[in-house]
Structure 1
Amino acid sequence: MPPVSLFGPLDAVLGDSIEYVLLILVLVNLLTRVLAHRRHVKAAEEGGAEAMSRFLPHAASNALLVLAAFYYLTLHHHAGMVTSVLVLGLFITDFFEFEARKVEARRDVPIERPKGAIAASLLTLAYVAYQSLFFLIAPAWGAVV
């Protein structure tokens, strides 16, 4: 547990394992992104742009990811700031990618993958995996540094 506890019992429960929670949330977000894209393609084929709507599990995973990143910021300031910036970038990218898919459906062009959101997700995944799984590369890192 960190020396300064802003959230009391939450810090006692999640304080030492928040990196792993973030890793799981990023992986869940990737999975819900795939499911949301499939749903958007199917909705666009059946009913056009009006039939498309945001995928609730993906929106919930985005919200949980943002909240977890902000909580991580209270525990580890430097890593939390980097993670929060990456997650907020991912959140904003998701918002605009959905709007771009609706434009594609209105223009009757094939629905593309959300490339920007995928790139932001992979960058976020790489950093969160580095933070949470550092113990795997710590011996090699220590030998180099």
Structure 2
Amino acid sequence: MDPLQFLVPLDWIAVVGPMLPFAILVMAVANLATRHLAHRRHIEQATEGDNVERYAPHAFTNIGLIILSFLFSLDAPTGGTVLAILVVTMLIADLFEFEARNVEARNDMTVEAPKSAIAASALVTFYAAYYALFFLVAPVWNVIVA
């Protein structure tokens, strides 16, 4: 018996749970792509004015990753918690990097790439790929561990 079964109906998580790692992987790859597009747009906005604005598709992928990682922590508590910590770290790095781009735009400095947010996003993508595509390396892993 699940201790939360009377507080939160979790039957639907059992249905969508096996698909969550693949959805998270797709969202993480989309996040990397929108991060690149957002950086190009920030460079254009910085050359035109004193302010950069958030890129809506990138904000959508950030929110989607947060929601999916928290849902995944209900299905797989250990892996989901690790992923949620990585995603929250990525979000915090993204917020600080966005503010840094605003400072660079206001002071007519060159707009740098968001290095820490890229690193955090790459970690999220690698972990999501590990969790979703583990069936590809499972035979080799079982030989090593066994």
> RMSD of aligned C-alpha atoms?
1.7
Aligned to 2:115: 115
Q: How does 1:64-83 map to 2 (within 5 A)?
A: 64-83=64-83
Matching residue's letter, 2:49: G
Cα distance, 1:60 vs structure 2? 1.1
Structure 2 residue runs of 5 or longer lacking an equivalent are none
Cα distance, 1:10 vs structure 2? 4.0
Cα distance, 1:11 vs structure 2? 2.2
State the distance in 2 between where 1:73 and 1:24 align: 17
State the distance in 2 between where 1:39 and 1:75 align: 37
Q: Would you say the 8 A contact 2:49–2:105 is kept in 1? A: no
In structure 2, relative to structure 1, the CA distance for the partners of 1:131 and 1:43 (3 Å cut) is same
- Among 21, 36, 39, which residue is 1:37 paired with? 39
TM-score (norm 1): 0.91
State the distance in 1 between where 2:9 and 2:35 align: 31
Q: How does 1:68-107 map to 2 (within 5 A)?
A: 68-107=68-107
State the distance in 2 between where 1:80 and 1:72 align: 5
Cα distance, 1:47 vs structure 2? 1.0
Cα distance, 1:109 vs structure 2? 1.1
Cα distance, 1:110 vs structure 2? 0.7
Alignment length (residue pairs): 141
Structure 1 residue runs of 5 or longer lacking an equivalent are none
